[in-house]
């Protein structure tokens, strides 16, 4: 045991009246909501990179955190793993997530780097067996090393493509061995800075083939989890090919992968794409590619991805409403892809931030469940689209323009607009949040 969280016990549930900052006010793992345990609805995870690898920098300043596990040795990596599982246990989270370069230092060769990752994975396996904490997903960092400055799968150098493929193979192997529920691909630099030196068709074809290889290898090794893509519109590149959910879906369709790959949607990335969080979730549900969620929030005044802990209950409630209406999570969950502010230096800040985020998700779930139980939105939608339930309207979708035009003239159809009742529905939402 390390002493990093000394004096901090396992976080208890104390209820809505509690003013204890290290106690849950709404998150009760065993509470039944719509016939299912709260923990099983939310499937929450702590991310390794922001919680244990991020040094506290921003675009204008460097490291502010001083952690005893910061360093490039395997001893540092082992201590980091010890502290991580101590935090998982204190929070009572069922899952965690990682990039390969979060958990172990990069070596002088890919073989050495892979050996480091596998050595830490062995520690993970022991701790997972002892604690019951599972792996929501793993992934490979194909963006930090300078070799990836022009992308990984989309790189103009075929040797970089090859290195990335080999790195992903190892990360997927480790994820499989640890029983991961998903494997994520984030195209951190799969895009361009300028079209002056970019062959877009070539790069898109490379990306499609790379993703197909991942799916093929998943099947070869018998990995039962879901392959996920995480959309993001920009930053670090000027334009990324996985801009938003709709763009990713079009990409998947082009390469025949829409039945093989789903999306991991992040709140902050939705904002950067000019969308709301619930829009991206509803789009994914409508297109049949909803997979998992990175729970955070973005600063609406900043032009970069701020990855703050979620604290907006109305926003979370609407997001979870759409998740529940879409059938809920299968292999996915809520991963806290969120980091402390660079002035939040203390170990207790790391615990308190997650406690707050978990409570926000719990409150959002309870509000969304109440909205579903009430049925107000379902009733409003049914009323608004009732005309499409008539035999004439359904038949029109199987008809043609000429026949429809003839009917309009024959029946002298001249429709008047009807109110969308937006304000009344917004008022209705506020009854629950």
Residue 261: closest CA among 228, 224, 297:
228
Q: How far apart are CA 354 and CA 42, in angstroms?
A: 14
- 181-219 b/e (C-beta count within 10 Å ≥ 16 → b): bbbbbbbbbbbbeeeeebeeeebbebbbebbeebbebbe
Q: How far apart are CA 259 and CA 252, in angstroms?
A: 8
Predicted local confidence at residue 20, as pLDDT: 97
Whole-prediction pTM: 0.96
- The question of whether 41 is a catalytic residue gets the answer no
Q: How far apart are CA 378 and CA 186, in angstroms?
A: 35
Query: Strand pairing partners for 239?
Result: 192
Predicted local confidence at residue 35, as pLDDT: 98
Predicted local confidence at residue 303, as pLDDT: 72
Catalytic residue among 41, 50, 100, 102: 102
Show the tokens assigned to 268. 């902050």
Show the tokens assigned to 309. 């802990």
User: 3-state secondary structure string, the chain?
Assistant: CCCCCCCCCCCCECCCCCCCCCCECCCCCCCEECCEEHHHHHCCEEEHHHHHHCCCCECCECCCCCCCCCCCCHHHHHHHHHHHHHHHHHHCCCEEEEEHHHHCCCCCCHHHHHHHHHHHHHHHHHHHHHHCCEEEEEECCCCCCHHHCCCCCCCCCHHHHHHHHHHHHHHHHHHHHCCCCEEEECCCCCEECCHHHCCHHHHHHHHHHHHHHHHHHHHHHCCCCEEEECCCCCCCCCEECCCCHHHHHHHHHHCCCCCCEEEEEEHHHHHHCCCCHHHHHHHHHHHCCEEEEECCECCCCCCCCCCECCCCHHHHHHHHHHHHHCCCCCCCCEEECCCCCCCCCCHHHHHHHHHHHHHHHHHHHHHHHHHHHHCHHHHHHHHHCHHHHCHHHHHHCCCCHHHHHHHHHHHCCCCCCCCCCHHHHHHHHCCCC
Q: How far apart are CA 319 and CA 293, in angstroms?
A: 10
- The question of whether 99 is a catalytic residue gets the answer yes
Residue carrying the six token digits 């902050």: 268
Show the tokens assigned to 414. 């001249």
Show the tokens assigned to 230. 């995480």
Predicted local confidence at residue 300, as pLDDT: 79
Predicted local confidence at residue 58, as pLDDT: 85
Q: How far apart are CA 363 and CA 292, in angstroms?
A: 19
Alpha carbon distances (Å) from 178 to 102, 213, 218, 223: 16, 21, 14, 11
Q: What is the pLDDT along the chain (433 residues), one digit of tens a residue?
A: 799 999 999 999 999 999 999 999 999 999 999 999 999 999 999 999 999 999 999 888 999 999 999 999 999 999 999 999 999 999 999 999 999 999 999 999 999 999 999 999 999 999 999 999 999 999 999 999 999 999 999 999 999 999 999 999 999 999 999 999 999 999 889 999 999 999 999 999 999 999 999 999 999 999 999 999 999 999 889 999 999 999 999 999 999 999 999 999 999 999 999 999 999 999 999 999 999 999 999 887 877 789 999 999 999 999 999 999 999 999 999 999 999 999 999 999 999 999 999 999 999 999 999 999 999 999 999 999 999 999 999 999 999 999 999 999 999 999 999 999 999 999 999 999 9
Predicted local confidence at residue 375, as pLDDT: 97
Predicted local confidence at residue 299, as pLDDT: 83
């Amino acid at each position: 045991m390390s002493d990093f969280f000394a004096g901090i016990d396992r976080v208890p549930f104390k209820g809505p009246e509690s003013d204890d900052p290290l106690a849950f006010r709404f998150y009760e793992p065993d509470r039944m909501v719509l016939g299912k345990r709260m923990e099983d609805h939310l499937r929450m995870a702590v991310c390794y990179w922001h919680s244990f690898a991020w040094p506290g920098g921003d675009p204008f300043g460097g490291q502010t955190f001083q952690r005893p596990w910061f360093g490039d040795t395997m001893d540092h990596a082992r201590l980091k793993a010890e502290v991580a599982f101590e935090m998982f246990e204190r929070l009572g989270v069922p899952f965690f997530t990682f990039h390969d370069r979060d958990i172990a230092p990069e070596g002088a060769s890919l073989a050495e780097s892979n050996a480091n990752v596998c050595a830490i994975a062995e520690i993970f396996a022991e701790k997972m067996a002892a604690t019951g904490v599972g792996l929501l997903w793993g992934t490979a960092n194909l963006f930090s090393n300078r070799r990836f400055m022009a992308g990984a799968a989309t790189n103009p150098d075929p040797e970089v493509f090859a290195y990335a493929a080999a790195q992903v193979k190892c990360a997927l192997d480790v994820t499989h061995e640890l029983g991961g529920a998903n494997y994520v691909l984030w195209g951190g630099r799969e895009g361009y800075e300028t079209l002056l030196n970019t062959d877009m068709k070539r790069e898109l074809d490379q990306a499609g083939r790379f993703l197909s290889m991942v799916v093929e290898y998943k099947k070869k090794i018998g990995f039962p989890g879901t392959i996920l893509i995480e959309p993001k519109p920009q930053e670090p590149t000027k334009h990324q090919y996985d801009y938003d959910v709709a763009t990713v879906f079009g990409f998947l369709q082009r390469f025949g992968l829409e039945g093989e790959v789903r999306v991991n949607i992040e709140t902050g990335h939705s904002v950067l794409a000019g969308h709301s969080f619930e829009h991206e979730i509803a789009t994914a549900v409508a297109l049949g590619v909803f997979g998992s969620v990175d729970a955070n929030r973005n600063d609406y005044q900043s032009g970069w991805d701020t990855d703050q802990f979620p604290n907006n209950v109305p926003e979370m409630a609407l997001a979870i409403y759409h998740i529940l209406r879409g059938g809920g999570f299968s292999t996915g969950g809520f991963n806290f892809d969120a980091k402390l502010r660079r002035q939040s230096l203390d170990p207790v800040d790391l615990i308190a931030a997650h406690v707050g985020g978990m409570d926000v998700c719990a409150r959002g779930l309870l509000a969304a469940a109440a909205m579903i139980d009430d049925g107000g939105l379902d009733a409003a939608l049914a009323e608004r689209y009732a005309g499409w339930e008539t035999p004439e309207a359904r038949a029109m979708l199987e008809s043609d323009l000429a026949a429809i035009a003839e009917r309009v003239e024959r029946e002298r159809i001249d429709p008047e607009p009807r109110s969308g009742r937006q304000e009344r529905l917004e008022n209705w939402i506020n009854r629950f949040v």
